[in-house]
Amino acid sequence: AIGSKRLGTKIVEMRGVSKSYGEQKLIDGFTYLLKRDDRIGIIGANGAGKTTLLEIITNRVEPDTGEIEIGQTVHIGYYDQESRALNDEQRVIDYIREVAEYVTTVGGQQITAGQMLEKFLFTPAAQYSLIENLSGGERRRLYLLRILMSSPNVLLLDEPTNDLDIPTLIALEEYLDDFAGALIVVSHDRYFLDRTIERIFKFEGEGKIREFPGDYSTYLEISGREKSENKEAEKQTEMRAPAKTEKSSENSSEKSESKKLTFKEKRELETLEMEIPETEKRLAEIEHELSRFAADAFKVNELFIEQQKLNLQLETDTERWLELSERAG
């Protein structure tokens, strides 16, 4: 495991933090004490305030109200979505050595800048070439490695799966497996969140942030169960309600009928119940194939494209299944 700078008892504490832009309230009275072993995934709609929370933690944005306290021993590494200008005339290895000549593992072993570059798929020849020769994906990989070489003990990743290629994501996941500090990831990628995090913060709108234990798949299970329980509670309330007039009863009956599944929707539900497990099975197969074909860049890229499509399909199908299941009762 690659070591990070030693953390003290105080890491990051937010007390009653709020932030709005105009009439849009993004964060409303958020309080949380970050723990040294936290692995948090942040989800929610685009523009809900996920990135804003990271920027408050890194002091790039001031909250409107509330307080944030950062421990003296905290060293934050922040990989954001902004494009970083790199010096094209600089050699790859010199760009990394500017931060550190080496990093030290938890066991005390030193890993040189060159060895870390190899871990992140830069060959010895590429390390001594100029940055101007790198592709866009290689530049982002290099920028990510520079952040990791600074030995952060709190790591913030904002949508890393949006602009990192699959070989880089595999290298990042392996790094995170051994990362000894606190991790906060903003992502829509179910696979990446399941692979790396143990707690979910969901931005639910109007400044509300709700916490869920477990990974993204666990969140989906909890969310689906809650929706079913809420539906059952509504049924019980209707059963206990006083008798209605004939007209209102007819209206209620018509409303109830309109909520029932059509024949087409029933068939759709049956199909989803067969297709979702198949999609999950294929995603598991892809995970094994990515390890098996790690040295074949063309094959890895093909698998990555398929994985991204299937993750999106799985998320869409799961949401639709939850909706139809609720109505089916």
**End position of a domain, from candidates 184, 217, 250:** 217
Give the whole-angstrom CA distance, residue 147 versus residue 205: 31
Provide the 10 A C-beta neighbour count for residue 208: 15
Q: Categorize the per-residue pLDDT at 296 as very low, low, confident or very high, splitting at 50, 70 and 90.
A: confident
Mean pLDDT along residues 3-13? 73
The single residue listed with the structure tokens 């029932």 is 260
Q: Are 141 and 280 found together in one domain?
A: no
Residue 207 lies in a domain: yes
Quick one: tokens of 315?
């998320």
Q: Are 96 and 16 found together in one domain?
A: yes
**End position of a domain, from candidates 197, 217, 237:** 217
Q: Domain containing 208: what range?
A: 12-217
Contact 198, 35 (CB under 8 A): no
In this predicted structure, what is the pLDDT of residue 309? Answer: 87
Mean pLDDT along residues 294-315? 83
In this structure, what DSSP letter does residue 135 have?
A: -
Q: Categorize the per-residue pLDDT at 257 as very low, low, confident or very high, splitting at 50, 70 and 90.
A: very low
Residue 232 lies in a domain: no
Quick one: tokens of 111?
């890993």
What three-state secondary structure class fits 302? helix
Residue 2 lies in a domain: no
Provide the 10 A C-beta neighbour count for residue 300: 20
CA distances 270 to 222, 249, 274, 320, 327, Å, are: 22, 31, 7, 12, 14
Mean pLDDT along residues 257-285? 83
Q: Are 140 and 194 found together in one domain?
A: yes
Pairing of strands 199-205, 208-213: antiparallel
Q: Which of 23-32, 120-129, 263-272 has the lowest mean pLDDT?
A: 263-272
In this predicted structure, what is the pLDDT of residue 254? Answer: 47
Q: Are 136 and 191 found together in one domain?
A: yes
**End position of a domain, from candidates 157, 185, 217:** 217
In this predicted structure, what is the pLDDT of residue 8? Answer: 65
Q: Are 174 and 35 found together in one domain?
A: yes
Quick one: tokens of 303?
């698998």
Q: Are 200 and 60 found together in one domain?
A: yes
CATH number of the domain that residue 316 is part of: 1.10.287
Q: Are 283 and 187 found together in one domain?
A: no
Q: Are 92 and 181 found together in one domain?
A: yes
What percent of the chain shows pLDDT beyond 70? Answer: 87
At residue 181, does pLDDT exceed 60?
A: yes
Whole-prediction pTM value? 0.72
Q: Are 103 and 49 found together in one domain?
A: yes
Residue 224 lies in a domain: no
Q: Are 198 and 117 found together in one domain?
A: yes
Helices 166-177 and 297-328, packing angle to 10 deg: 80
Residue 185 lies in a domain: yes
In this predicted structure, what is the pLDDT of residue 172? Answer: 93
CATH number of the domain that residue 175 is part of: 3.40.50.300
In this predicted structure, what is the pLDDT of residue 188? Answer: 85
Q: Are 192 and 280 found together in one domain?
A: no
pLDDT tens digits, residue range 48-102?
Answer: 899 999 999 999 999 999 999 999 899 999 999 776 788 999 999 999 999 999 8
Among residues 216, 76, 100, the alpha carbon closest in space to that of 154 is found at 76
Residue 61 lies in a domain: yes
Pairing of strands 154-158, 182-186: parallel
Contact 15, 66 (CB under 8 A): yes
Return all residues near 45 (Cβ < 8 A) that are at least 6 apart.
203, 205
In this predicted structure, what is the pLDDT of residue 110? Answer: 86
Provide the domain count of the chain: 2
Quick one: tokens of 263?
């024949």
Tell me the chain's radius of gyration from C-alpha atoms: 24
Residue 7 lies in a domain: no
Helices 166-177 and 136-149, packing angle to 10 deg: 10
Element (H, E) at 87: none
